Amino acid sequence: MAMVSGIQGQLLDVTVVRCTKLKDTEWISRQDPYVCLEYASTKFRTRTCTDGGKNPVFQEKINIPLIEGLREITVTVWNSNTITFDDFIGTGRIQLQKVLSQGYDDSSWPLQSKSGKFAGEVTVIMHFANAKKGDKASLAGHALTHPTHMPTAPPVASYAPPPPSYAPPAYPSSVPPGPSAGYPPPYGAYPSQPPMPYSAGYPPASYPATSYAPPPMPQAYHPQTYPPAAYPPQPYPPPPHAQPYYPPGSYPGSYPPY
């Protein structure tokens, strides 16, 4: 890959996505990792992923001004402690050749412990908007001059279904073919039904006729005189009744005779 030049002071977009398979430095609780980037005098620290354990997620972005001739970023992962010093998990180096030449790089970079053992991976996405057009053109020309390096699509196999092993029997159709003029059929294509016989008498002769008498009409209302004529009117006030005659001296306390 050709060396890229003329990048002094241009910005490189770096996004720390996540870490995977980190070495666990805690015995009881889950560790709280964070990531540090260092490029020349630029230093960047992500937030602490509380209880991130072995697979913390960060999704944090930084813009790094590039320096001519410096083609790698140092990355270090730590475990945050509140009482004691932070625990070292692992360190690694992020190479910039691909992103500077192609403008994009999405890769996972390995981390090593102090003893040189595998300590996990860190995933970083990098964008470089000012990638040289000449570098992109050289990569395209290299692909054209070396066609064996270009990925080719696998040949598509032509598939034809096998012929049927037997011919399906032809069943006669019970529906007569319609007219060739299309649908709906022309008027008069179907035979008309004979008219239903009409009987003038109702109800039918098979049922005996029943006589029906209308209800009697209500009688005319004749107002009655009140009081009835059978009781003659009494005069008012009524005549005095005859007082019974008691002979004097017939009962105690009567007045004396004349």
Q: What is the pLDDT of residues 102-155, one digit of tens each?
A: 999 999 999 999 999 999 999 999 999 988 654 444 444 444 444 444 444 444
- For the domain made up of 11-145, give the CATH fold: Immunoglobulin-like (2.60.40)
Residue 39: pLDDT over 60: yes
Q: State mean pLDDT over 157-170.
A: 55
The kind and range of the H/E element at 60 are: strand 57-65
Residue-wise pLDDT tens digits, 196-209: 555 555 555 555 55
- What separation in angstroms does the CA of 183 have from each of 11, 50, 157, 178, 180? 74, 75, 44, 8, 9
The pLDDT, as a whole number, for residue 131 is 83
Q: Which two tokens stand for residue 19?
A: 């870490």
Q: Is the peptide bond before 218 cis (omega within 30 degrees of 0)?
A: no
Taking the CB of residue 4, how many other CB atoms lie within 10 A of it?
Answer: 19
3-state DSSP: the chain helix, strand, coil percent, rounded to 5? 10, 25, 65
Q: What is the value of pTM for the model shown?
A: 0.51
- Of 239 and 250, which is predicted with more confidence? 239
Three-state secondary-structure class, residue 108: strand
pLDDT above 70: percentage of residues in the chain:
49
